[in-house]
Amino acid sequence: MEISMKFKTADSNSQGIAVESEVAPLSFTRTDAFNELEQLIGLKQVKRNIAEVTAFSLIQKQRSHKQLKVCPTALHAVFKGNPGTGKTTVARILGKIFHDIGILTKGHLVEAERADLVGEYIGHTAQKTKEFIKKSPGGILFVDEAYTLAQGGEKDFGKEAVATLVKSMEDNRDNIIIILAGYCREMDEFLNSNPGLRSRFPVQIDFADYDREELFHIALQMYKERDYELSNKCRWRLKSKLEEFAKSRHPHSGNARYVRNMVEKSIRLQALRIVDREYLTRRDLMIIEEADLP
């Protein structure tokens, strides 16, 4: 998708709130952050959803400059998917995209999970949650495994954390984006258990498991980024290993995270294989052999 338009660049004032300065041409599809998103393997639907949300935000800004009615731009999102499907990676890139186009003044990602937000006694939870919210203005507050906030029963303080988050969304209307992330089914249950939440998090993005081709390409990309190459035999071995993995995997077995662990382990095994050699060529240092695959 190619969207190109004239747009005002954003600076931030002393409170970190976006203020417009001079007009400069900008197409978000040409920003570095958008390229980074494009370079992720697969995730076709995710990329499309992000493009949609970004285009929407830009157009609403343009409309407001022309004194047209603006649809309320609630950009709070739910990212649903199994572990290792790229949720955190995409959230971090989204922060950068929103920063580049002037929706967020900083674009940083603040990661929180249940233990960061929920306290042990009355009043502790609101205090802990507020501390995280304080770190977030101008960026994204990313709550991982958010459904655990609703899993402790009636007396659990998780509910208080949710209420504090919702309150902060209303108080900081334009300057924080909250993303709730977690496994599909659990997140659906969580949203169903709290009807107010669904409408407050209008952007819902599903992260599918990677298929075997995607897993293979993710592995190749990871080696390349790290300046490693695979021998031909190793390539075949890796391919069949990942096919096996894709066929027999458990939903929580890690997707791209499994691939990353394997890549990193093989790099350590290669080091062990060659470390005692007297002389190492540049190629020796780069090549991963079949025997290096864990």
Binding-site ranges for Mg ion (CB under 5 A): 88
Residue 45 or 64 with smaller CB distance to ligand ATP: 45
Residue 87 or 99 with smaller CB distance to ligand ATP: 87
Q: Count of residues binding ligand ATP (CB under 6 A)?
A: 18
Q: Which of residues 212-241 bind ligand ATP (CB under 6 A)?
A: 218, 221
From the CB of 30, what's the least distance to ligand ATP, in Å? 21
84 binds, among Mg ion, ligand ATP, none (CB under 5 to 8 A by kind): ligand ATP
169 binds, among Mg ion, ligand ATP, none (CB under 5 to 8 A by kind): none
Q: Is the dihedral of CA 249, 250, 256, 257 positive or negative?
A: negative
Beta strands in 35-182 (DSSP E): 77-81, 109-112, 140-143, 177-182
Q: Is 95 in the site for ligand ATP (CB under 6 A)?
A: no
Q: Which of residues 128-187 bind ligand ATP (CB under 6 A)?
A: 144
Q: Angle CA(42)–CA(78)–CA(57) in degrees, nearest 5? A: 85
The tokens describing 12, both together, are 């931030």
As a whole number of angstroms, the longest Cα–Cα distance in the chain is 73
Residue 143 or 288 with smaller CB distance to Mg ion: 143
Residue 62 or 89 with smaller CB distance to ligand ATP: 89
Residue 8 or 92 with smaller CB distance to ligand ATP: 92
d(CA 132, CA 186) in angstroms, rounded, equals 23
Question: Which member of 9, 29, 31, 89 binds ligand ATP (CB under 6 A)?
Answer: 89
Q: Angle CA(54)–CA(57)–CA(62) in degrees, nearest 5? A: 125
From the CB of 89, what's the least distance to ligand ATP, in Å? 3
Q: Are the CB atoms for 263 and 241 separated by under 8 Å?
A: no
Beta strands in 148-288 (DSSP E): 177-182, 203-207, 229-230, 287-288
Q: Is 260 in the site for ligand ATP (CB under 6 A)?
A: yes
From the CB of 43, what's the least distance to ligand ATP, in Å? 5
Q: Is 76 in the site for ligand ATP (CB under 6 A)?
A: no
What are the residues whose beta carbons fall under 8 Å from the beta carbon of 240, sequence distance 6 or more?
Answer: none
Residue 12 or 88 with smaller CB distance to ligand ATP: 88
Mapped onto helix, strand or coil, the DSSP state of residue 26 is: strand
The tokens describing 153, both together, are 């029963």
Beta strands in 66-162 (DSSP E): 77-81, 109-112, 140-143
From the CB of 41, what's the least distance to ligand ATP, in Å? 4
Question: Which member of 78, 84, 205, 230 binds ligand ATP (CB under 6 A)?
Answer: 84
Question: Which member of 18, 37, 42, 104 binds ligand ATP (CB under 6 A)?
Answer: 42
Type and span of the H or E element at 12: strand 5-12
Residues binding ligand ATP (CB under 6 A): 40-43, 81, 83-89, 144, 218, 221, 256-257, 260
